Structure 1
Amino acid sequence: MQFLSRREWAFLAIIFVYSFIPTIGGLFRIPELLGGPAIAPVNPRAVSDPLPIILHVLASFLFCLVGAPQLVPSLRLRRPGLHRKLGRIVAAAGCVSALTGLWMTHFYAFPHALQGPLLYWARIVLSLSMFGFIVWAIVEIRSRNLIGHRAAMLRAYAIGQGASTQTALFLIAMAVSNTELLGFPRDVLMVIAWAINIAIAELLIRRMVAPRRSQALASNLY
């Protein structure tokens, strides 16, 4: 993809690294869940019902990594066919990620130290929202509403990247306090991570919509 600028390549590199870090543990655990030797402390939820977590890890990994090139303007403009093909993969992976996340949140028995009421309801609402945004994006692109499509997918991507921002915040918190956060402080930090992602997405959407509004206003004046 020689048509990508250095800035776009740098953006992709950052997103790839940012997406890969929180999934390392899950990817390494998948062989164990499929019957291989244990390489990490046993997770009773994953051992008793491994399929949802396997699907969630793989789908989230695909959604975040394949979704990154979809945000690059040059790819959309110069390779629209590739953009559409990748978009189908991203939409399918995002739906699987959201629905498995919803299933695990409700049916897995989390200890209170790892999921209190705040985190439970945040996960429920955000999983449903992520799925809804992807469906909305599909409806918008079928209606030829490119701005609405991009806005919906950007919001879904911001939610899907929550684990990456959570990992970054946890590393910072552990470096400062030298202890692992548990209980309510942990729940709050995880919700803050999603809030940061959503706020950034909304700022990008405003920047995307602003030129269209200016053009519409100018056309109304003449």
Structure 2
Amino acid sequence: MHFISRREWAFIALVFLYSFIPAVVGLVRLPELLGAPAIIPPNPRAVIDPLPITLHILGSSVFCLVGAVQFLPSLRRYRPALHRTLGRIVAAAGCVSAITGLWMTVAYAFPDALQGPLLYVARVTLSLAMVALIAWAVVAIRSRNVAAHRAAMLRAYAIGQGASTQTALFLVTMGLFDTEPSGFSRDVLMVGAWAINLAIAELLIRRAFATRTSGAAI
């Protein structure tokens, strides 16, 4: 892909690095879910009902990693057909990720230390919001509303990348306090990660809007 600039390659590398731990841990767990011996400590909920978490891992990995490529201006400019093809894959993967996330939230029996009311409500709300945003992005691009399409997909991507920011916050917290958060503090940390991602997404959307407005005024 010689048409991709060095800055864009750096962006892809940064996103892949940021997504590394949740993506790799999830993919490493797949053999266990398919019946192979566990490589990492087993998840009892996943062992009992492996289908939703298997689909969630696959959907989330595709959405987060391939989805990052979709934000490259060079891809949209020089390979629009590829952008559209990848977009369909990313949209489907994002919906699988969100729906299976909702499935696990409702169906799995989480101990209070791992999911309290705050986290439960956030997971349900954000799963539904992610599907709605992807659906709106599809409607928007079919109506040739490119700005609305990009904004909706960026917000959906911010939700989908929640696990990466949660991992980063967990590592910082464990480094500072030498213990893994649990209970309400864990819920706050998890929800806070989504809040950070969505805040950054809104800043980027506003920045893009300001750029378009100033460009149109010239």
Q: TM-score range by the shorter chain?
A: over 0.9
Would you say 1:115 and 2:115 are equivalent positions?
yes
List gaps (5 residues or longer) in structure 2: none
Alpha-carbon separation, structure 1, partners of 2:69 and 2:13: 10
Distance in 1 (alpha carbons) for counterparts of 2:21 and 2:82: 26
Q: Structure 1 length normalisation: TM-score? A: 0.95
Following TM superposition, by how much is the alpha carbon of 1:214 offset from its aligned partner in structure 2, in angstroms?
3.3
Provide the residue aligned with 2:92 in structure 1.
Answer: 92
Q: Give the 4+ runs in structure 1 shifted more than 3 A.
A: none
Residue identity matched to 1:181: P
Identity %, equivalent residues: 72
Instruction: Report the residue type matching 1:179 in the other structure.
Output: T
1:155–1:201 CA contact under 8 A, matched in 2 = yes
Aligned to 2:202: 202
Counterparts of 1:164-179 in structure 2 under 5 Å? 164-179=164-179
1:124 corresponds in structure 2 to 124
User: Aligned partners of 2:144, 2:76: CA distance in 1, in Å?
Assistant: 14
Match of 1:159 in 2: 159
Across the two proteins, how many residue pairs are aligned to each other?
218
SS across alignment from 2:19: helix
Aligned to 1:5: 5
| RMSD, aligned CA | 1.1
Task: Tell me which amino acid in the other structure corresponds to 2:49.
Answer: D
Q: How far apart are 1:123 and its partner, in Å? A: 0.4
Quote the offset at 1:211 in angstroms: 2.8
Kindly state the Cα deviation for residue 212 of structure 1 after the two structures are TM-superposed: 2.9
Other-structure match for 1:81: 81
Q: Distance in 2 between matches of 1:168 and 1:41?
A: 20
Structure 1, unaligned runs of 5 or more? none
CA contact (8 A) 1:20 1:61 kept: no
Give runs of aligned pairs for residues 139-154 of structure 1, distance below 5 A. 139-154=139-154
Instruction: Report the TM-score when normalising by structure 2.
Output: 0.97
